[in-house]
Amino acid sequence: MKLAFIGLGVMGFPMAGHLAKAGHSLAVFNRSPEKAIRFVEAYGGVACRSPGEAAHGCDFVMMCVGDDHDVRSVAGQALDELAPGGVVVDHTTASAKVARELAERAAAAGKVFLDAPVSGGQAGAENGALTIMAGGDPGAFARAEPLMRAYARNIRLMGPSGAGQLTKMCNQIAIAGLVQGLAEAQHFARRADLDPTEVYEAISKGAAQSWQMDNRWATMAEGRFDYGFAVDWMRKDLGLVLEEARANGATLSVTALVDQLYADVQKMGGGRWDTSSLVKRLEE
């Protein structure tokens, strides 16, 4: 079985590393070649000069790139070079539309494209504990699933092509309202002269509890935002959400508002800050 991994960023590098540690020799490609060289130094395999070269003759190509444009370009090249019957597993968070388009194109060539965005962040990628929400052909999913086990714990086929992306969008919608609610709660607490740590102890065990509260309240109170899931990435994801909602008729008033609030954070120079920096916007 021949494997490639394309896109060795903060997510892709550790994900590909887990595949290598599981015993696979990988052909890798990254836009800035130093990372591919660094990967091969650490894990072996072959650093390639293009997505097509990496994908050439492969049974599976995993990829984790930036946006719809990158997905279309990279997956297009990979599909051309893949072995007959080969599978592209795309871990990028992108649109459901590009997933459907590439799945169709793959099928016409006797190959398969699966959309398989992840959640769990950099820590999840490093610990091999990601969640994967996939869409596409069930048979190809069943064949790819054991490979994804190298870096993911919760792997689900959600439906036809695009269903993985749509599920990831549900995740981001839930987070958008939640994080702004949390930011407003902490902002109010400060205005009310309450001790944020005491407030956390009082409200974090009940109906207001959330992963975000358990993992971000303290850093928000300290004003630390130089880590985590960046505002620029969240805006990209919310853009996908709002475009999809325009098509499927969902009304997302809070999500649309929070997207605008994140635009304020970008204007503050906070594009690389963690999403919890919404509280900093309130404090300015």
Regarding 30 and contact with a copy of itself (CB under 8 A), the answer is: no
DSSP for 120-179, written as a single string: SHHHHHHTT-EEEEEES-HHHHHHHHHHHTTTEEEEEEEESTTHHHHHHHHHHHHHHHHH
Regarding 119 and contact with a copy of itself (CB under 8 A), the answer is: yes
Regarding 37 and contact with a copy of itself (CB under 8 A), the answer is: no
Quick one: tokens of 45? 């395999």
Say if CB 104 and CB 79 are below 8 A apart.
no
Catalytic residue among 168, 205, 267, 280: 168
Regarding 144 and contact with a copy of itself (CB under 8 A), the answer is: no
Provide the 10 A C-beta neighbour count for residue 282.
17
Minimum distance between the CB of residue 198 and a copy of itself, rounded to whole angstroms? Answer: 6
CA distance 198 to 115: 43
CA distance 216 to 265: 17
Closest by Cα among 139, 131, 150 to 114: 139
**For a copy of itself, which residue of 107, 221, 261, 263 counts as binding (CB under 8 A)?**
261
Nearer to a copy of itself, 68 or 81 (CB): 68
280 tagged catalytic? no
Regarding 32 and contact with a copy of itself (CB under 8 A), the answer is: no
Quick one: tokens of 33? 């070649």
Touching a copy of itself, residues 162-221 (CB under 8 A): 163, 166-167, 169-171, 173-182, 184-189, 191-195, 198-199, 201-203, 205-213, 215
Nearer to a copy of itself, 6 or 213 (CB): 213
CA–CA–CA angle 178, 182, 187 (5° rounding):
150
Regarding 15 and contact with a copy of itself (CB under 8 A), the answer is: no
Minimum distance between the CB of residue 86 and a copy of itself, rounded to whole angstroms? Answer: 26
Nearer to a copy of itself, 150 or 179 (CB): 179
Residue 156's Cβ-count burial label (10 Å; 0-12, 13-18, 19+) is middle
Closest by Cα among 60, 73, 9, 1 to 39: 9
Handedness of CA 179, 185, 188, 190 (dihedral sign): negative
Regarding 99 and contact with a copy of itself (CB under 8 A), the answer is: no
Distances (CA, A) of 72 to 20, 97, 107, 167: 26, 11, 15, 20
**For a copy of itself, which residue of 9, 66, 76, 121 counts as binding (CB under 8 A)?**
121
Minimum distance between the CB of residue 191 and a copy of itself, rounded to whole angstroms? Answer: 4
Binding residues for a copy of itself, rule CB under 8 A, total 69
Regarding 226 and contact with a copy of itself (CB under 8 A), the answer is: no
Minimum distance between the CB of residue 88 and a copy of itself, rounded to whole angstroms? Answer: 21
CA distance 257 to 116: 27
Interacting residues with a copy of itself (CB under 8 A): 96, 119-121, 124, 131, 133, 154, 156, 158-159, 163, 166-167, 169-171, 173-182, 184-189, 191-195, 198-199, 201-203, 205-213, 215, 229, 241, 244-245, 248-255, 257-258, 261, 282
Q: Which residues are catalytic?
A: 168
